[in-house]
């Protein structure tokens, strides 16, 4: 599962979270989460 899939799955199953909280929960670096979220927003 790639980072984007992890973020989407986590957000579907939880309340809104900040990128730092997402990073902790999925075990990724915050800057990588920020990049992935930016890409997800762009591809909407």
Q: How far apart are CA 10 and CA 28, in angstroms?
A: 13
Res 15: pLDDT: 95
- Please state whether the predicted TM-score (pTM) of the whole model is above 0.75: yes
Q: What is the pLDDT of residues 1-44, one digit of tens each?
A: 899 999 999 999 999 999 999 999 999 999 999 999 999 999 87
| Residue spans of alpha helices (H) in 1-44 | 3-12, 19-26, 30-42
Q: Where are the domains of the chain?
A: 3-42
């Amino acid at each position: 599962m790639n980072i984007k899939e992890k973020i989407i799955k986590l957000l579907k199953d939880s309340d809104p979270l900040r990128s730092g909280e997402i990073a902790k929960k999925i075990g990724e670096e915050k800057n990588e989460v920020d990049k992935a979220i930016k890409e997800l927003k762009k591809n909407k």
